[in-house]
Chains A and B, each alone.
Chain A
Amino acid sequence: MGEAREGEGEEIGNKGGGGGGGGGGGLGVVRVLVVDDSPVDRKVVEMLLKKSGEMFEVIAVDSGKKAMDFLGLNEGKAESPKSDDQKIDVILSDYCMPEITGYDLLKAVKDNICSRSMPVVMMSSENDSQRISRCLAIGAEDFLLKPLQVKDIQRLRNSARPTAPAPSQDPKRKLPVDLIAQSNGSERRPHLAGVAAFLLEL
């Protein structure tokens, strides 16, 4: 479930390019890095983002470690994104995860010169005021309670970096091969009609 399959590429058609998002002042695609060890929660969040009417591009990972790898934050290396394709506009991370928690991830993002301006929104099923304060104190933009609702997506959108209007899209766009995943043995077909939100899962 959620395993990356290497050696496969996938062509994605991107309809509905151009503006259309509300809130946050940006009109372009908002790239969200979703970090959650629960496959159920990842699935639900991804669908919420897809259905929100905003232009979200979702990259989902199942651990804090993978998030740090993706962001180039491991072992204290200050790396900037290698290409425009890897720029993230907001990180949405679960708080409770094994090994590297959401708090650890937040701290790593904020401690790194290259990434500290990146908005991080935390989420948790526990309405723990100390937990919330801790996260906000070190720079989390917001703290959402799970299960997320439709209204939380606007808060996420408001926390994201302003985005440039989406460029005119090529009819097909190749995804990085190691970001494609399958779950439950069924292929995930990107949803193209209406909102252009396509899904990558590590």
Chain B
Amino acid sequence: MAATALKEQLNGLVNSMFAEGLLDEQFQQLQMLQDGSNPGFVAEVVTLFCEDSERILADLTKLMDQAVVDYSKVDAYVHQLKGSSSSVGTQNVKLACIQFRQFCEENNQEGCMRALNVVKHEYYHLRSKFETMLQLENRIQAYETKQQN
């Protein structure tokens, strides 16, 4: 029964992430790709996304700290992050990246700095929800494994 309660908690969390705009229908596509033979697929994708995003955000921070900002490089990184957030269905991060790219096109340093902060804010908010989501999934998996043994 504990597993049932955990599953309800997990469903509630994911539903709230959709309602809040953190996730979009692309995330549902990923959920549909997961099945019994690939039970960890969503977790793997989420983990990859988080690692990749943090790498990109670190690189963006360094670029924006330069005395002379190379906007084409900044744009390339933001494009990458926009792409991966689109593939995972992390809507708010994607939208923040789109805005960021606008400022890159304008070579607007102040705008880019603000946009970077927005992207970071959206990403870290999302990450904490993903962490909870993965913890719940792991607990559910542990219960179900215990039940089977």
Contact = CB atoms under 8 A, between A and B. Distances in A.
Interface of A: 1, 37-41, 43-44, 47-48, 50-51, 96, 98, 125, 146-147, 149-150, 183-184, 186, 191, 193-194
Given A44-B45, A184-B47, A149 B29 contact: yes
B33 A47 contact: yes
Interface in B76-95: 76, 79-80, 82-84, 86-89
Nearest to A147: B87
Nearest to B29: A149
B142 interface: no
Interface residues of B, number: 25
B88 A40 contact: yes
A83 to B, nearest CB: 30
A183 B33 contact: no
Contacts, number: 65
Contacts of B80: 37-38
Nearest to A184: B47
Contact of A184 (B35, B51, B82, B84): B51
A41 B33 contact: no
Contact of A41 (B29, B38, B76, B83): B83
Nearest to B85: A40
A1 B49 CA distance: 11
7 contacts: A40-B49, A43-B44, A44-B45, A96-B79, A146-B86, A150-B29, A191-B37
Contacts of B76: 96, 98
Contacts of A48: 33
A184 B48 contact: yes
B44 A184 contact: yes
Most chain B beta carbons < 10 A, residue from A50, A125, A150:
A125
Contact of B38 (A1, A38, A147, A191): A191
A105 to B, nearest CB: 17
Contacts of B37: 191, 193-194
B26 interface: yes
B52 A147 contact: no
Contacts of A149: 29
Contacts of B130: none
